[in-house]
């Protein structure tokens, strides 16, 4: 059974862009799943994708019209994480601020925590 718990915060700007992407990709009604994958320059990397199914051990939260899912396994690593969308002269993109990360790569998507380091990959 999924549990309602706020693991991450999605800002209004990020929520707007995610909802736009959902509509553009005809994914209305899908869930936003935020995950931690192994790899990346620092050992772990963030991932976000649209998902059609909730899993029994998911934490669920609704923000800006989005239902956000995080697995029970990833929740401790992502607790308190803020996802934002920043626009600059060079374009825009999502930023992730994770208070649990003790090191991160310049790419902004690779990190490690004190409790989980993952397996770093060679950066190219």
pLDDT value of residue 115? 62
How far is the C-alpha of 109 from the C-alpha of 101, rounded, in Å?
A: 11
pLDDT tens across 34-70, in order?
Answer: 999 887 666 788 899 999 999 999 999 999 999 999 9
Q: Is the pLDDT of residue 117 over 60?
A: no
φ, ψ at 6 (rounded to 5°): -85, 105
How far is the C-alpha of 13 from the C-alpha of 85, rounded, in Å?
A: 6
- Res. 31 pLDDT band, cuts 50 70 90: very high
pLDDT value of residue 13? 97
Q: Sketch the domain layout of the chain as residue ranges.
A: 6-95
Q: Which two tokens stand for residue 42?
A: 């620092």
**In this structure, are residues 92 and 86 in contact, taking their beta carbons and an 8 Å threshold?**
yes
Higher pLDDT, 123 or 19: 19
Q: Which two tokens stand for residue 47?
A: 């991932």
How far is the C-alpha of 7 from the C-alpha of 4, rounded, in Å?
A: 9
Higher pLDDT, 26 or 46: 26
Which residues are 45's β-sheet partners? 37, 110
- Res. 71 pLDDT band, cuts 50 70 90: very high
CATH architecture of 6-95: Sandwich (2.60)
φ, ψ at 50 (rounded to 5°): -85, 140
- Res. 114 pLDDT band, cuts 50 70 90: low
């Amino acid at each position: 059974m999924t549990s309602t718990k706020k693991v991450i915060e999605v800002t209004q700007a990020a929520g707007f862009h995610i909802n736009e992407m959902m509509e553009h990709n005809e994914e209305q009604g899908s869930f936003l799943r935020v995950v931690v994958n192994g790899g990346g320059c620092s050992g772990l990397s963030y991932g976000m994708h649209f998902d059609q199914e909730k899993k029994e051990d998911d934490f669920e939260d609704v923000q800006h019209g989005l239902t956000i899912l995080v697995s029970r396994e990833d929740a401790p690593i992502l607790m308190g994480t803020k996802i934002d969308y920043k626009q600059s002269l060079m374009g825009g993109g999502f930023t992730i601020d994770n208070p649990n990360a003790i090191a991160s790569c310049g790419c902004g998507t690779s990190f490690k925590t004190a409790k989980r380091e993952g397996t770093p990959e060679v950066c190219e």
